[in-house]
Structure 1
């Protein structure tokens, strides 16, 4: 990658790194603090749902605000809101009011990420977008891990960790404010109606929805399980770091594997892995064995974080290149709907089976998707391997990242290309 490109990207990527450290810390901190305050899992789930609802709204509607006031001003506004919210969480420890704060926080986070991602897109040469997307993912998840490590050094019953998260939000403004790069408007792409997306690639739509159901609960309620299992704060932070590390390390290898086989078969293996790891947590009770818990958590992170990007790749295989951006955005909406629903459904299992109900929930959601994927393999032929589009890493953050997907820049198929017949049949 040219040095000039890296220099241009340094500002938004550094802002992303600094912000995400505080974001990763705050996400786990809120669940742990609510657990320490003996808040019910249902209310914890509702607060998590509020965040994902705000994130979806902020991701999809904040682009107009950003274009009106400019990227730097918009980022400063969103970061200021998030900084204030982090302090309010620590000053007013009232989980009932945290739902509204979390909704606003999700909205501001969505807008903040749109600024960063659109900035990256404008600064990214088409030839290097795949590597830039991978770099974005590595920095985002690595920063989330650093946030867990920072949490280990802080007392969650004091204001200090909330101040730390607020500082990260505030300091993340500096790289962008000091940058001289001007950000242009993004291009408009072909639209793809939602029901047409379901008809064209039902496997990707349903897998993204189930991914949201599972991943949102892993973020929002997994610390609750570890806390109720008797783990100390530093051990819980380690477990959440292992979860994210698993996703960081295994997403690309699993994705490349899906280039060589029917992606639906790979998704079947992933959901089977989630089911088996979930059952292992229920049967083995690993919370008393830190090594065993770390291994299972690492495995869980590896499979659940890989579902969304491989589902995107499945959609890209089944669609024309001109439809990739619109499909990417539609699949993010499916994921977001699942992410809002998961924290409301999982507490039902927790009330029925105790803290381990989280893993029974994972197993049930995975089993439902497994049945659907097996049925799809019976009724539709797989995409020929020679028509697979190369896997690209992805994070389910905002629809703007769809613009960075290198698969959207694939050359249109020529009319006499035999692969065109494959697309036309869909």
Structure 2
């Protein structure tokens, strides 16, 4: 990687690393604190939905503010807002009001990530964007893991962990504020109507939506499950670290596997694995078998984090290069809608079946996905393996990641008549 590129990327990546430590800490902390305060799973789910709602809005609309005031000023504003919100969570422990705070936090997080990802995008030559995306993902997930481990050293019933999260938000401003880099303006790209996206790549649309349904519940309610089955704080932090570690380590190998086989078949295997792990959690005592719980959590994270990027790859296989950016942004919207819905649906299963109801929910989503993917394999032939576009890692954060995707520039152009014939299939 060229030295000049590394220099320009150092500031946003370091800011991402610092911020993500606090983000990972706060995400699990809020769920555990609400569990200690005997807050219902339904209210915890609603607060989680508020966050993903704000994240979606912030990811898609904050580019206008960034264009007006510049990257560094916008980042400072979002980080200041997140710092204040983290302190307010600790100062006013009133879960009913946390819904508004979490909504605002999601909005600011979306804007903050747009700043970082757009900075990375304009600083990265097309030829190395695949490596840059992989580095981004590793740093993001590694920092999230560090946040979980940091939680083990803090008293969640005090203001201190909230102050640490606020400190991370505040300190993350420094690398960007001290950088001497001129950032280009964000580019605008044509949109792809939603129903056209559904027609062109229904498997990717559905799988991204299901990914949101599952991942949002894993982030927002899995600590609740571990607490209810009797795990201690340090054990819960370890489990959440294993979850993210599994996603970080297995996403690329599973993605590369999808390059060699029909991606829909690989997605079916992933959902079958989610189903198997969910059944294992229901059948076995999660507290008694801590080693087994750790292994299952690692596997669970590995498969659920891989669904979204493999779904994007499926879309890239079925689309023309000119449609990739708009389609990926549409798929992020599908993911976001799922992420907003999941924390509202899962508590219904928990209310009816107890803590194990969460994994009944995961199993139900997996069965639904398996049925849909089986149907799709029956009605549409797979994309030939030789036409597969190489897998690229991705995180469902903001629309800017779609512009960072090297496949938008590397895809071979499909002949017009062949494309028309392909798109007319069911």
TM-score (norm 2): 0.98
Describe the SS at the equivalent of 2:184. coil
Distance in 1 between the 2:285 and 2:311 partners?
31
> Contact 1:319/1:423 (CA < 8 Å) preserved in 2?
no
Describe the SS at the equivalent of 1:287. coil
Q: Which residue of 2 aligns with 1:168?
A: 168
Distance in 2 between the 1:422 and 1:19 partners?
47
- Sort the Cα spacing of 1:353 and 1:415 in 2 relative to 1 into closer, same or farther, 3 A: closer
Distance in 2 between the 1:414 and 1:263 partners?
19
> Contact 2:250/2:302 (CA < 8 Å) preserved in 1?
yes
Q: Which residue of 2 aligns with 1:26?
A: 26
Deviations 1:253-276 (A, max 9, x none): 000000000000000000000011
Deviations 1:396-423 (A, max 9, x none): 000111110000012552748x965665
Q: Which residue of 1 aligns with 2:344?
A: 344
> Contact 1:190/1:322 (CA < 8 Å) preserved in 2?
no
Distance in 2 between the 1:3 and 1:232 partners?
46
Distance in 1 between the 2:178 and 2:289 partners?
48
Q: Which residue of 2 aligns with 1:231?
A: 231
Deviations 1:285-343 (A, max 9, x none): 22222101000000000000000000000000000011000010000000000000000
Q: Which residue of 2 aligns with 1:186?
A: 186
Distance in 1 between the 2:419 and 2:301 partners?
37
Distance in 1 between the 2:306 and 2:418 partners?
27
Q: Output aligned runs, 1:248-263, within 5 Å.
A: 248-263=248-263
> Contact 1:258/1:266 (CA < 8 Å) preserved in 2?
yes
Q: CA RMSD in A?
A: 1.2
**Which deviates more from structure 2 when the two are superposed, residues 87-96 or residues 280-289?**
280-289
- TM-superposed deviation, 1:190: 3.2
> Contact 1:59/1:110 (CA < 8 Å) preserved in 2?
yes
> Contact 1:263/1:314 (CA < 8 Å) preserved in 2?
yes
> Contact 2:320/2:414 (CA < 8 Å) preserved in 1?
no
Describe the SS at the equivalent of 1:93. coil
Q: Which residue of 1 aligns with 2:195?
A: 195
- TM-superposed deviation, 1:186: 2.4
Describe the SS at the equivalent of 2:62. helix
> Contact 1:317/1:383 (CA < 8 Å) preserved in 2?
yes
Q: Output aligned runs, 1:260-409, within 5 Å.
A: 260-409=260-409
Deviations 1:36-82 (A, max 9, x none): 00000000000000000000000000000110111100000000000
Tell me whether 1:86 sits opposite 2:91 in the alignment: no
Distance in 2 between the 1:181 and 1:274 partners?
44
- Sort the Cα spacing of 1:72 and 1:40 in 2 relative to 1 into closer, same or farther, 3 A: same
Gaps of 5+ in 1: none
Q: Which residue of 2 aligns with 1:114?
A: 114
